[in-house]
């Protein structure tokens, strides 16, 4: 995959790796505001935003019925991680699963290239990129230490919560493309599975990578102590809610 955004520390080796995945009908440059904010907050991090390997095969149509995974955008030569043509709730998990092996290998290759351990890796994305980030962390626990999921949801509910990854969910309260209820459901599910998850919802914001949500992400990354760290320090079992 091409990497339009690859920002490395000015000096020294990267201490963290932050990988950002763009949404459907978009490209890596759409993540520049988020990447820049993360770069300023974590100057010793390597911040990468790769390009999805495929051009969009159609223009999306807004599905106001909320529960459907359609994405609103005009293709205009933009990129997609997987096709939304003929996408349904039934075939959606398979579409996502088909992308994961190559994406997992790519992330691991970047970790090896840059000398950054999985625990110091943050995987994030918007919309389709958030969907993939959640799925990848669910399927490959320990591939990354954090997930930043903006305007996404699980394509398929996980049967177990990651034990080595903190999941941070961010959503616009007025999102009509992938409604915020999907993130609320994810938080409830992860809590029931004794996972480590947080949720920030910004009222009045739609399906966009809004600066308010970016600020929420920075706060979570700098202030949230992972549940696994608390457990190791206190020698206690996981709490029932967080």
In a domain, 164, yes or no: yes
**Please, which residues have CB within 8 angstroms of residue 16's CB and are 6 or more apart in sequence?**
42, 44, 45, 46, 116, 120, 121, 122
pLDDT given at position 1: 87
pLDDT given at position 225: 73
Candidate list 138, 175, 183, 196, residue with the active-site label:
175
Query: Which residues constitute the domain of residue 24?
Result: 5-234
If DSSP states are collapsed to H, E and C, what string results for the chain?
CCCCEEECCCCCCCCEEEEEECCCCECHHHHHHHHHHHHHHCCCEEEEECCCCEECCCCCCCCCCCCCCCCCCCCCCCEECCCCCCCCCCCHHHHHHHHHHHHHHHHHHHHHHHCCCHHHEEEEEECHHHHHHHHHHHHCCCCCCEEEEECCCCCCCCCCCCCCCEEEEEEECCCCCCCCHHHHHHHHHHHHCCCCEEEEEECCCCCCCCHHHHHHHHHHHHHCCCHHHHHHHHCCCCCCCC
Q: Number of C-alpha atoms within 13 angstroms, CB side, residue 127?
A: 28
In a domain, 199, yes or no: yes
Catalytic-residue membership of 207: yes
Q: Tokens standing for 191?
A: 């809590």
- Paired strand residues for 20: 124
Candidate list 140, 168, 171, 207, residue with the active-site label:
207
pLDDT given at position 228: 64
**Please, which residues have CB within 8 angstroms of residue 93's CB and are 6 or more apart in sequence?**
155, 156
In a domain, 47, yes or no: yes
In a domain, 158, yes or no: yes
- Number of structural domains (the chain) is 1
Residue by residue, pLDDT tens for the chain (242 residues) are: 899 999 999 999 999 999 999 999 999 999 999 999 999 999 999 999 999 999 998 654 433 333 344 333 333 448 999 999 999 999 999 999 999 999 999 999 999 999 999 999 999 999 999 999 999 999 999 999 999 999 999 999 999 999 999 999 999 999 999 999 999 999 999 999 999 999 999 999 999 999 999 999 999 999 987 756 655 545 655 444 44
Q: Tokens standing for 196?
A: 């480590």
**Please, which residues have CB within 8 angstroms of residue 71's CB and are 6 or more apart in sequence?**
23, 24, 25, 60, 84, 127, 128, 177, 178
In a domain, 239, yes or no: no
Instruction: State phi, psi for 108 to the nearest 5 degrees.
Output: -65, -35
CATH of the domain at 82: 3.40.50.1820
Candidate list 127, 138, 166, 183, residue with the active-site label:
127
In a domain, 197, yes or no: yes
In a domain, 83, yes or no: yes
In a domain, 242, yes or no: no
């Amino acid at each position: 995959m091409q990497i339009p955004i690859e920002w490395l520390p000015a000096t020294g080796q990267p201490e963290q790796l932050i990988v950002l995945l763009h949404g459907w009908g978009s490209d890596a440059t759409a993540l520049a505001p988020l990447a820049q904010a993360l770069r300023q907050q974590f100057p010793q991090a390597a911040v990468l935003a790769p390009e999805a390997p495929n051009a969009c095969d159609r223009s999306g149509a807004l599905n106001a019925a909320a529960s459907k995974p359609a994405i609103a955008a005009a293709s205009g030569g933009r990129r997609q991680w997987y096709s939304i043509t003929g996408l349904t709730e039934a075939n959606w998990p398979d579409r996502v699963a088909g992308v994961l092996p190559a994406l997992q290998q790519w992330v691991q290759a970047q970790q090896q290239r840059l000398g950054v351990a999985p625990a110091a890796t943050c995987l994030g994305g918007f919309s389709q990129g958030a969907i993939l980030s959640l799925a990848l962390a669910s399927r490959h626990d320990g591939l990354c230490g954090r997930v930043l999921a903006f305007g996404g949801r699980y394509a398929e509910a996980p049967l177990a919560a990651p034990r080595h990854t903190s999941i941070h969910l961010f959503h616009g309260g007025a999102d009509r493309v992938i409604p915020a209820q999907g993130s609320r459901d994810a938080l409830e599910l992860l809590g029931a599975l004794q996972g480590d998850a947080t949720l920030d919802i910004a009222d009045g914001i739609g399906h966009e990578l809004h600066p308010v949500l970016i600020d929420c992400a920075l706060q979570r990354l700098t202030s949230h102590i992972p549940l696994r760290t608390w457990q190791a320090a206190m020698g206690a079992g996981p709490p029932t809610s967080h």
